[in-house]
Amino acid sequence: MSALLEVTSISVSFDGFKAINDLSFEIGGQELRAIIGPNGAGKTTFMDIVTGKTRPDAGRVRFGEPQLDLLRLSESQIARAGVGRKFQRPTVFEAQSVRDNLMMALSNDRLPLAVLRYKPSTADTDRVSALAEEIGLSSELDRTAGQLSHGQKQWLEIGMLLAQEPKLLLVDEPAAGMTLGERQHTTDLLRRAAETRAVVVVEHDMEFVRRLDCKVTVLHEGSVLAEGTLDHVTANSEVIDVYLGR
Protein backbone atom coordinates (compact mmCIF):
# COMPACT_ATOMS: atom_id res chain seq x y z
CA MET A 1 0.00 0.00 0.00
CA SER A 2 1.41 3.35 -0.95
CA ALA A 3 1.32 6.01 1.70
CA LEU A 4 -1.10 8.97 1.61
CA LEU A 5 1.46 11.36 3.01
CA GLU A 6 5.15 10.84 2.48
CA VAL A 7 7.54 13.17 4.23
CA THR A 8 11.14 12.48 3.28
CA SER A 9 14.16 13.83 5.18
CA ILE A 10 12.91 17.34 5.76
CA SER A 11 14.96 19.83 7.73
CA VAL A 12 14.22 23.37 8.78
CA SER A 13 16.03 25.75 11.07
CA PHE A 14 15.07 29.08 12.55
CA ASP A 15 18.00 31.38 13.26
CA GLY A 16 20.32 28.42 13.48
CA PHE A 17 18.04 26.37 15.70
CA LYS A 18 17.19 23.10 13.98
CA ALA A 19 13.48 22.72 14.59
CA ILE A 20 13.21 19.75 12.23
CA ASN A 21 16.26 17.62 11.52
CA ASP A 22 16.14 15.05 8.72
CA LEU A 23 12.64 13.94 9.60
CA SER A 24 10.86 11.26 7.61
CA PHE A 25 7.26 10.25 8.17
CA GLU A 26 4.61 8.24 6.39
CA ILE A 27 0.94 7.65 6.94
CA GLY A 28 -1.55 5.45 5.07
CA GLY A 29 -4.99 6.33 3.73
CA GLN A 30 -7.10 5.18 6.70
CA GLU A 31 -4.93 5.41 9.73
CA LEU A 32 -5.02 7.07 13.12
CA ARG A 33 -1.62 8.17 14.35
CA ALA A 34 -0.53 10.00 17.46
CA ILE A 35 2.59 12.12 17.56
CA ILE A 36 4.06 12.77 20.96
CA GLY A 37 7.22 14.45 22.11
CA PRO A 38 8.50 17.01 24.59
CA ASN A 39 8.18 20.75 24.01
CA GLY A 40 10.34 21.90 21.15
CA ALA A 41 10.44 18.45 19.59
CA GLY A 42 9.13 19.95 16.34
CA LYS A 43 5.54 18.71 16.44
CA THR A 44 3.91 21.98 15.49
CA THR A 45 6.63 22.84 12.98
CA PHE A 46 6.00 19.48 11.34
CA MET A 47 2.32 20.40 10.92
CA ASP A 48 3.29 23.85 9.66
CA ILE A 49 5.39 22.25 6.94
CA VAL A 50 2.72 19.81 5.81
CA THR A 51 0.09 22.56 5.67
CA GLY A 52 2.33 24.99 3.83
CA LYS A 53 2.77 27.56 6.59
CA THR A 54 6.50 26.93 6.83
CA ARG A 55 8.78 25.92 3.96
CA PRO A 56 11.49 23.37 4.82
CA ASP A 57 15.12 24.04 3.91
CA ALA A 58 15.46 20.54 2.50
CA GLY A 59 13.39 17.42 1.91
CA ARG A 60 10.24 16.36 0.11
CA VAL A 61 6.58 16.28 1.05
CA ARG A 62 4.34 14.21 -1.21
CA PHE A 63 0.63 13.76 -0.79
CA GLY A 64 -2.22 11.80 -2.33
CA GLU A 65 -2.79 9.83 -5.47
CA PRO A 66 -1.63 11.01 -8.00
CA GLN A 67 1.16 12.43 -5.89
CA LEU A 68 1.19 16.16 -5.28
CA ASP A 69 4.29 18.04 -4.24
CA LEU A 70 2.93 20.02 -1.29
CA LEU A 71 6.00 22.24 -1.18
CA ARG A 72 4.89 23.89 -4.41
CA LEU A 73 1.38 24.73 -3.20
CA SER A 74 0.03 27.60 -1.11
CA GLU A 75 -1.79 27.02 2.19
CA SER A 76 -5.22 27.36 0.63
CA GLN A 77 -4.29 25.07 -2.27
CA ILE A 78 -3.03 22.43 0.16
CA ALA A 79 -6.26 22.70 2.10
CA ARG A 80 -8.27 22.28 -1.10
CA ALA A 81 -6.12 19.26 -2.03
CA GLY A 82 -7.42 17.57 1.10
CA VAL A 83 -5.33 18.44 4.13
CA GLY A 84 -7.34 19.72 7.08
CA ARG A 85 -5.76 21.21 10.17
CA LYS A 86 -7.06 21.80 13.64
CA PHE A 87 -5.14 24.29 15.69
CA GLN A 88 -4.25 24.02 19.33
CA ARG A 89 -6.56 26.78 20.47
CA PRO A 90 -10.09 26.18 19.27
CA THR A 91 -10.44 28.61 16.39
CA VAL A 92 -13.99 28.87 15.24
CA PHE A 93 -15.47 32.11 13.97
CA GLU A 94 -16.99 33.33 17.19
CA ALA A 95 -19.01 36.18 15.74
CA GLN A 96 -20.91 33.85 13.45
CA SER A 97 -23.49 31.13 14.02
CA VAL A 98 -22.63 27.45 14.26
CA ARG A 99 -24.52 26.95 11.02
CA ASP A 100 -22.52 29.61 9.16
CA ASN A 101 -19.30 28.13 10.49
CA LEU A 102 -20.21 24.71 9.11
CA MET A 103 -21.53 26.15 5.84
CA MET A 104 -18.22 27.85 5.20
CA ALA A 105 -16.37 24.63 5.81
CA LEU A 106 -18.40 22.49 3.37
CA SER A 107 -16.28 21.28 0.52
CA ASN A 108 -17.75 23.52 -2.17
CA ASP A 109 -16.05 25.84 -4.63
CA ARG A 110 -13.99 28.31 -2.62
CA LEU A 111 -13.23 30.96 -5.22
CA PRO A 112 -14.74 34.42 -4.61
CA LEU A 113 -17.09 34.69 -7.57
CA ALA A 114 -18.55 31.21 -7.02
CA VAL A 115 -19.04 31.95 -3.33
CA LEU A 116 -20.73 35.26 -4.15
CA ARG A 117 -23.38 33.42 -6.20
CA TYR A 118 -23.63 30.51 -3.78
CA LYS A 119 -27.03 29.32 -2.60
CA PRO A 120 -27.11 26.41 -0.14
CA SER A 121 -28.51 23.31 -1.86
CA THR A 122 -30.66 20.75 -0.04
CA ALA A 123 -27.67 18.43 0.01
CA ASP A 124 -25.66 21.14 1.76
CA THR A 125 -28.25 21.84 4.44
CA ASP A 126 -28.66 18.10 5.01
CA ARG A 127 -24.92 17.71 5.32
CA VAL A 128 -24.78 20.52 7.88
CA SER A 129 -27.55 18.85 9.92
CA ALA A 130 -25.77 15.50 9.75
CA LEU A 131 -22.50 17.06 10.87
CA ALA A 132 -24.20 18.90 13.71
CA GLU A 133 -25.70 15.61 14.77
CA GLU A 134 -22.32 13.92 14.73
CA ILE A 135 -20.59 16.60 16.80
CA GLY A 136 -23.54 16.88 19.17
CA LEU A 137 -24.47 20.48 18.33
CA SER A 138 -27.82 19.94 16.60
CA SER A 139 -29.66 22.16 19.03
CA GLU A 140 -27.00 24.87 18.87
CA LEU A 141 -27.02 25.50 15.10
CA ASP A 142 -28.37 29.03 15.33
CA ARG A 143 -26.32 30.08 18.33
CA THR A 144 -23.32 32.29 17.93
CA ALA A 145 -20.19 30.16 18.07
CA GLY A 146 -18.72 32.49 20.68
CA GLN A 147 -21.39 31.39 23.17
CA LEU A 148 -20.37 27.73 23.04
CA SER A 149 -18.41 26.06 25.82
CA HIS A 150 -14.74 25.31 25.29
CA GLY A 151 -15.42 21.67 24.53
CA GLN A 152 -18.25 22.50 22.14
CA LYS A 153 -15.95 24.85 20.25
CA GLN A 154 -13.44 22.04 19.87
CA TRP A 155 -16.14 19.80 18.45
CA LEU A 156 -17.41 22.52 16.16
CA GLU A 157 -13.91 22.88 14.84
CA ILE A 158 -13.62 19.14 14.30
CA GLY A 159 -17.03 19.25 12.60
CA MET A 160 -15.79 22.01 10.32
CA LEU A 161 -12.78 19.91 9.45
CA LEU A 162 -14.97 16.92 8.67
CA ALA A 163 -17.15 19.16 6.51
CA GLN A 164 -14.07 19.95 4.45
CA GLU A 165 -13.85 16.21 3.74
CA PRO A 166 -10.09 16.10 4.01
CA LYS A 167 -8.10 13.01 3.12
CA LEU A 168 -5.70 13.86 5.90
CA LEU A 169 -6.63 15.50 9.16
CA LEU A 170 -3.97 17.07 11.37
CA VAL A 171 -5.14 17.69 14.92
CA ASP A 172 -3.10 19.69 17.41
CA GLU A 173 -3.78 18.87 21.09
CA PRO A 174 -7.50 18.23 20.88
CA ALA A 175 -7.90 17.22 24.51
CA ALA A 176 -6.36 20.31 26.08
CA GLY A 177 -8.70 21.84 28.64
CA MET A 178 -11.45 19.26 28.22
CA THR A 179 -13.46 17.50 30.88
CA LEU A 180 -13.42 13.73 31.08
CA GLY A 181 -16.77 13.33 29.34
CA GLU A 182 -15.70 15.71 26.58
CA ARG A 183 -12.51 13.72 26.08
CA GLN A 184 -14.46 10.53 25.56
CA HIS A 185 -16.61 12.21 22.93
CA THR A 186 -13.52 13.65 21.22
CA THR A 187 -11.82 10.24 21.13
CA ASP A 188 -14.90 8.74 19.50
CA LEU A 189 -15.04 11.53 16.92
CA LEU A 190 -11.40 11.09 15.98
CA ARG A 191 -11.56 7.31 15.77
CA ARG A 192 -14.65 7.46 13.61
CA ALA A 193 -13.01 10.03 11.39
CA ALA A 194 -10.00 7.77 10.95
CA GLU A 195 -12.18 5.02 9.49
CA THR A 196 -12.45 6.95 6.24
CA ARG A 197 -9.31 9.06 6.23
CA ALA A 198 -5.90 9.52 7.79
CA VAL A 199 -5.82 11.36 11.09
CA VAL A 200 -2.68 12.60 12.82
CA VAL A 201 -3.09 13.73 16.41
CA VAL A 202 -0.41 15.70 18.22
CA GLU A 203 -0.92 15.28 21.95
CA HIS A 204 0.87 15.76 25.24
CA ASP A 205 -1.58 13.86 27.33
CA MET A 206 -0.51 10.21 27.58
CA GLU A 207 -3.79 9.07 28.99
CA PHE A 208 -5.61 10.54 25.98
CA VAL A 209 -3.17 8.86 23.59
CA ARG A 210 -3.84 5.58 25.29
CA ARG A 211 -7.56 6.04 24.68
CA LEU A 212 -6.90 6.60 20.97
CA ASP A 213 -5.27 3.17 20.91
CA CYS A 214 -3.22 3.68 17.77
CA LYS A 215 0.31 3.70 16.40
CA VAL A 216 2.48 6.34 18.07
CA THR A 217 5.40 8.32 16.67
CA VAL A 218 7.74 9.92 19.19
CA LEU A 219 9.56 13.07 18.08
CA HIS A 220 12.64 14.42 19.75
CA GLU A 221 14.82 17.34 18.65
CA GLY A 222 13.21 17.40 15.25
CA SER A 223 13.47 13.77 14.28
CA VAL A 224 11.73 10.48 14.91
CA LEU A 225 12.94 8.77 18.05
CA ALA A 226 10.65 5.76 18.10
CA GLU A 227 7.54 4.43 16.43
CA GLY A 228 5.07 1.68 17.36
CA THR A 229 2.32 0.95 19.85
CA LEU A 230 2.14 3.10 22.94
CA ASP A 231 3.36 0.23 25.10
CA HIS A 232 6.21 -0.39 22.70
CA VAL A 233 7.46 3.20 22.66
CA THR A 234 7.00 3.78 26.37
CA ALA A 235 9.16 0.75 26.99
CA ASN A 236 11.96 2.25 24.86
CA SER A 237 14.72 3.46 27.17
CA GLU A 238 15.60 6.50 25.02
CA VAL A 239 11.97 7.63 25.04
CA ILE A 240 11.86 7.20 28.80
CA ASP A 241 14.96 9.36 29.13
CA VAL A 242 13.91 12.28 26.96
CA TYR A 243 10.20 12.37 27.36
CA LEU A 244 8.78 10.50 30.26
CA GLY A 245 11.69 11.74 32.34
CA ARG A 246 13.22 9.80 35.14
Partner 1 sequence: MQRSLFVRQPSVLIFIGLLAAFTIAITVLSEGFGLGLVSTSFIKILGKTLCLCLVAIAMDLVWGYCGILSLGHFAFFGLGGYMIGMWLMYERTKDIVIASLAGAELPATAEEIREGIGTQIFGVVGGAEIPVVWYFADSLWAQLALVVLVPGLLALVFGWLAFRSRVTGVYLSILTQAMTLALSLYLFQNDSGLRGNNGLSGLQNIPGLTHLPQAVVSVWFFLASAFALGVGYLVAAWVVSGKFGSVVRAIRDDETRIRFMGYPVEAYKLVVFTLTAVIAAIAGALYYPQAGIINPAEIAPIASIYLAVWVAIGGRGRLYGAVIGAATVSLLSSWFTGGQAPSIPLGFYTIDWVDWWQVLLGLGFVLVTLFVPKGIGGLFDRLVRKDAS
Residues that bind partner 1 (CB under 8 A): 51, 53, 74-77, 79-80, 84-85, 87, 91, 93-96, 100, 103-105, 110-113, 115-116, 118-120, 160, 164
In terms of CB distance, is 16 or 112 closer to partner 1? Answer: 112
In terms of CB distance, is 127 or 220 closer to partner 1? Answer: 127
What is the distance in angstroms between the CA of the first residue and the CA of the last residue of the chain? Answer: 39
DSSP of 54-98, one letter per residue?
S--SEEEEEETTTTEEGGGS-HHHHHHHTEEEE-SS----TTSBH
Between CA 15 and CA 57 the distance in angstroms is 12
Q: How far is CA 158 from the centre of its chain?
A: 9
> Reduced to 3 states, what is the DSSP secondary structure of residue 37?
coil
**Shortest gap between Cβ of 34 and partner 1 (angstroms)?**
21
| Cα 96–Cα 99–Cα 104 angle in degrees, nearest 5 | 80
Q: How many Cα atoms occupy the beta-carbon half-sphere of 110 within 13 Å?
A: 12
**Shortest gap between Cβ of 21 and partner 1 (angstroms)?**
25
In terms of CB distance, is 125 or 229 closer to partner 1? Answer: 125
**Shortest gap between Cβ of 101 and partner 1 (angstroms)?**
8
Between CA 163 and CA 127 the distance in angstroms is 8
Comparing CA positions, the residue from 92, 72, 89 lying closest to residue 81 is 72
**Shortest gap between Cβ of 172 and partner 1 (angstroms)?**
11
Between CA 11 and CA 26 the distance in angstroms is 16
**Shortest gap between Cβ of 211 and partner 1 (angstroms)?**
26
**Shortest gap between Cβ of 239 and partner 1 (angstroms)?**
31
**Shortest gap between Cβ of 80 and partner 1 (angstroms)?**
4
In terms of CB distance, is 142 or 231 closer to partner 1? Answer: 142
**Strands 83-86, 68-69: pairing kind:** unpaired
In terms of CB distance, is 78 or 230 closer to partner 1? Answer: 78
In terms of CB distance, is 80 or 210 closer to partner 1? Answer: 80
Between CA 15 and CA 190 the distance in angstroms is 36
In terms of CB distance, is 127 or 211 closer to partner 1? Answer: 127
